[in-house]
Amino acid sequence: MPTAIAKPGQTLLSPANHALILIDHQSQMSFATKSIDPVQLRNNVALVSKAAKEFKVPTILTTVAEKSFSGPIFSEIKEVFPDEVAIDRTTMNTWEDPRIAERVNAIGKDKIVLAGLWTSVCIVGPALSALDQGFEVYVITDASGDVSDEAHERAVQRMVQAGARPMTSLQYLLELQRDWARGETYDETVATSIAHGGGYGLGLIYAKTMFNASEAH
């Protein structure tokens, strides 16, 4: 008979137990992305970026053929990480670039969270490669996208079958906060939720405006 203990499960993400890799959120890659509306994609990417910044998650930015073909990284990422230089690659599989491996090893986390364009190429590649090398892999599916719903869904299914764990952008933020009594990150988490959390954000505005409500009390 198992015993219930008041502590989080080992597969839950915390600010200190993972690295985030944002892959190829670039103009040219977005033009052909059809599995998610580009406005929603940019909103979700902004949410993830702000969450990582707020909780001081080690974050790797990477692009493919930025100057010659794919264009600049989303402003929603650059504005959050203005001093972070994205690693520009030729490899479609981020994991095959030695500079990425060097950064991952320097960070030293066994959990890797991925988001990017396109799911079936630039996310499947590093996800399966990292899993094969013993890392735990999480994929933020609504901060990723592909050329069709079919391409995105089959890619997610393939990664899940291999052991990856799918999640959403808002889930990522709230999993890092996890306890509303954590006052040091409460205000930023609420602000990010209001700015990018859709209906949930509107609910927070309503509750705070009408009732001066607070999740921590």
Torsion, Cα 49 100 18 140, to 10 degrees, reads 50
Locus of tokens 């735990």:
136
- Annotated catalytic, 210? no
Tell me how far apart the alpha carbons of residues 187 and 192 are, in angstroms, rounded to a whole number.
9
Q: Tell me if 77 sits within 8 A of 22, measured CB to CB.
A: yes
Locus of tokens 């309503």:
206
What is the token pair recorded at 82? 């203005």
What is the token pair recorded at 19? 């690295």
* Helices marked H in 4-37: 27-31
Secondary structure element (H or E) that encloses residue 19, with its range = strand 18-23
Residue in 122, 123, 137, 139 annotated catalytic = 122
Q: What residues does 115 pair with on adjacent strands?
A: 22
Tell me how far apart the alpha carbons of residues 187 and 190 are, in angstroms, rounded to a whole number.
5
Helix, strand, coil shares, percent, the chain, to 5: 50, 15, 35
The residues carrying an active-site annotation are 122
